[in-house]
Amino acid sequence: MTPATAAPPPLPSPHPWAPVPFEVRERAAETVDTVTLSLAPPDGGVPPLAFRPGQFNMLYLYGIGEVAISLSGDPGRADRFVHTVRAAGKITQALQRVGLHATVGVRGPYGGGWPVEAARGQDVVLVGGGIGFAPLRPVLYELLHHRDRYGRLEVIYGARTPKDLLYYEEIQGWRARPDLRFQSTVDTAGREWHGDVGVVTTRLPECRFDPPRTIAFLCGPEIMMKRTAEALLARGIPPDRIWVALERNMKCALGICGHCQFGPEFICRDGPVFRYDTVDRFLSVREL
């Protein structure tokens, strides 16, 4: 398995650290603490907004600061950057409150991405946990744009509660498709919930794939990815066919601030997507 091919370069900017002003074109409150923003240049003056699934941007609010957020939109649409942001810190909280036509600064895209082309002709398993499903959504769009290029397609998406499920309407559409099995599950639910309850690994036995011809992309909390990878290994998927997205504090996204180091890797530059067998030993070390 080879890593992803070259990713598109970052937007041109007067300074490598300086954001480019974008306009909020659409805004969707996904849950009580998560919003999806569609961003485009205010005057259309920026070249096509190409990105690879798995890449991220630095989003900036004037007078507040900057934060790394994955792209969660359709890579087939080069007229916007779509980001799904969960309130976790000061800046992500402020991003919940930006309105239509407000300005959000953007620099990026950064990082490599999911090796989607390596999935050609293969069965594909996507497993997302919480906000970790957002960086997988571009993969799903890409696979569905060219559905005939891939084998079986299994998607598992876990959230804490039914109220935390992102992309609710869209999920109904995916669940209804005959050429895709989309399973969603929640950790806890009230009695009104008709769906599955349990961590994502409880849905794996339902999945059908041919292990040596399968690629798996996992994104979510580290413990979720580790347990899922172990379950997939037990099903016979080779460790070099499992890919995970890692997350650490990021200040620069340029490979120089040092914050995102994970063992020998700079997550911003060498990741955020890694082949599981290159990082699994570090995933089990506390406080790395």
Contacting range for another protein; rule: CB under 8 A; set: 152-160, 176-184, 205-213, 258-266: 258-266
Q: Is the CB of residue 20 less than 8 Å from the CB of residue 238?
A: no
In the complex, least distance from residue 103 CB atom to another protein, rounded to whole angstroms: 4
In the complex, least distance from residue 287 CB atom to another protein, rounded to whole angstroms: 3
Cβ-based nearer residue to another protein, 198 or 255: 255
Among 1, 78, 88, 223, binds another protein (CB under 8 A): 88
CB atoms within 10 A of CB 94: 16
Cβ-based nearer residue to another protein, 18 or 234: 18
Helix (H, G, I), strand (E, B) or coil at 264: coil
Q: Which amino acid is at 10?
A: P
Contacting range for another protein; rule: CB under 8 A; set: 19-27, 150-158, 194-202, 228-236: 19-27
Residues 6+ apart with CB under 8 A from 272: 54, 56, 70, 111, 112, 135, 245, 246, 247
Q: Is the CB of residue 116 less than 8 Å from the CB of residue 53?
A: yes
In the complex, least distance from residue 240 CB atom to another protein, rounded to whole angstroms: 11
Pairwise CA distance, residues 8 & 6, whole Å = 7
User: Is residue 249 a contact point for another protein (CB under 8 A)?
Assistant: yes
Residue in 35, 123, 46 with CA at minimum distance from that of residue 72: 35
In the complex, least distance from residue 49 CB atom to another protein, rounded to whole angstroms: 19
What is the binding site for another protein (CB under 8 A)? 13-19, 21, 23, 42, 61-66, 88-89, 98-99, 101-105, 247-249, 251-252, 254-259, 261, 263-264, 266, 278, 281-282, 285-288
